[in-house]
Amino acid sequence: MTKKKEILEDIIAEHAYDILKRLADEDVKISKRIEELAPEYLIKVDIDDVAESVFCDLDSLEVEDVWDNSGSTRYGYVDPYELASEMFEEALEPYIDELRKCQKLGMDEEAKLHCMGILKGIYKFEKEATTEFQDWAVDDPHTHFIQVFDEWKKGNKNLKNLDEMNEFVKKNFSKWYKDIMKE
C-alpha cells in the first residue's frame, strides 16, 4: 500500500472534515468541486424509513417524563399538556432540520420525500400509537402535521412538487387534507 493511501485510511472523520473545510477555504476550485459532489453523498431519502423513524421517536416518548416534570415546581406551574407538546415538537425537530437542509441545498425532490415521510410518521402516531403519552398530546399530531406541511411549502420552489404533495396528502390523509388546503 502506498504511503498516500495509508494516510487517507488513517484519517478519522473529524479530521477529514477539518481538512476538507481547510482545503475548501484555501482553493475556490476545490470548494466548487465539493459543492458539486456533496449532494451525491448527503441524502438518500426513503419515505417509509423516515416515517418509521418519526413514528418510533414519537411512540417512545414517555408519559412518566410528563408526570415527573409538570405540575407545581419551584419556579411556578408547568402545564402537563404544554410540556407534552414541547416534547412532541422536540422529537420532530431533527427531521424538520433535515427537511430544511435539503431545501437549503436545492434538493427539492429529497425535501419533498422527507416531508412526506414526516407526515406519514405523524399520521401513523395519531392512528397507531401505543403509548400513554398520546393522551397528553392529543392535538399535537394534527397541529404539527399542518406545521410540517407549511414549513415544507414555504421552502418549496417547484410547483410540480406542490401538486404531488397535495395529491399525496389527499390520498393518504384525507382526514387532514382540508386543513392544509385552508393555508
Contacts of residues 91-94 at CB distance under 8 Å and 24 or more positions apart, as own/partner, are 91/54, 91/57, 91/58, 91/61, 92/54, 92/57, 92/58, 92/118, 92/122, 92/144, 92/148
Q: Hey, what's the cell of 26?
A: 484555501
Q: For residue range 112-161, list pLDDT tens digits in order.
A: 999 999 999 999 999 999 889 999 899 999 999 999 999 999 999 888 99
Q: Hey, what's the cell of 150?
A: 407549511
Domain ranges of the chain: 1-42, 44-181
Q: For residue range 153-180, list pLDDT tens digits in order.
A: 999 988 899 999 999 999 999 888 887 7
